[in-house]
Amino acid sequence: MALTDQQYFTLRRLQSLTGVLPVGVFLLEHWLTNAFALGGAAAYNEKVDFLRSLPYLFLLEIFGIFVPIAFHAALGCWIVWEAKFNNRALPLRQNALFTLQRVTGVLLLFFIPYHVLTTRFAEWFGGSTHDLFALMQDKLQNPLTFALYVAGVLAASFHFGNGLWGFAIHWGLLTSKAAQRRWSLAALLIALAFGLTGINSLLAFGPLGGLSPLRLQPAAATGGAPHAAAPAPSGQGATR
């Protein structure tokens, strides 16, 4: 079934919108929740328990997270499939960002289901979700799993940060070349901030050989210490 231009345009706009609302907003909330790991097991689990106690949680998860991500990702696969990489009319930097946006999307297609199945639905595989701090801590003791998480965190950070640039272009929010260039830089700084804080949260689960996270405030006095087990474009025509 061939799409009309109007249908194609609407679908592309919706794919763009869902990347920010609600998926991007959820990503921000997820990053903040994980940063509570810096305060130790009790602080982290308290926030997780609060989220689990939200009314209509199941509906929120299905319609606020799962359906929008599935929609965004399904259309994303189609966009990757029909993408024309290495456009010679564009500078190297713009081609690289265009390609990275798509590569990180495909990485997330595998990482997100793996992450969700082994945390939110760990019980399906005989694990316990009673203490999610301990669960993450156990997982991240394995250097390969830690490396996988670093890759997942960096992919999500770049994809969202750089995606904010694409979003602004697709929704016609930036018209002047100068504004597009400035927002491109800001979007990459946002990606960098997400990447650094995301890795800092991973380190808060106390994984590898004594590497410790940067704490801007001391761990909570009660239950603040880590567990004893822990060793411590389209948009191609736009200017960037």
Size of the residue set binding ligand HEM (CB under 6 A):
29
Instruction: Give whole-number Cα distances, 171 to 33, 103, 127, 181, 183, in Å.
Output: 29, 22, 43, 16, 14
159 counts as binding ligand HEM under rule CB under 6 A: yes
* 10/128 with CB nearer ligand HEM: 10
Q: Which two tokens stand for residue 82?
A: 């029909």
Nearest distance from C-beta of residue 104 to ligand HEM, angstroms: 8
- Return the DSSP state at 37: G
- Return the DSSP state at 223: T
Q: Contact with ligand HEM (CB under 6 A): which of 27, 43, 202, 230?
A: 27
68 counts as binding ligand HEM under rule CB under 6 A: no
Distance CA 44, CA 133 (A): 7
Residue with tokens 């002047």: 176
- Per-residue buried b or exposed e for 103-129, using 16+ beta carbons within 10 Å of the residue's own CB: ebbebbbebeeebeebeeebeeeeeee
Q: Which stretch binds ligand HEM (CB under 6 A): 137-145, 158-166, 187-195, 214-222?
A: 158-166
Task: Name residues contacting ligand HEM, limited to 74-133 (CB under 6 A).
Answer: 76-77, 79-80, 101-102, 105-106, 108-109
23 counts as binding ligand HEM under rule CB under 6 A: yes
Interface positions with ligand HEM (CB under 6 A): 16, 19-20, 23-24, 27, 72-73, 76-77, 79-80, 101-102, 105-106, 108-109, 156, 159-160, 163-164, 166-167, 170, 233-235
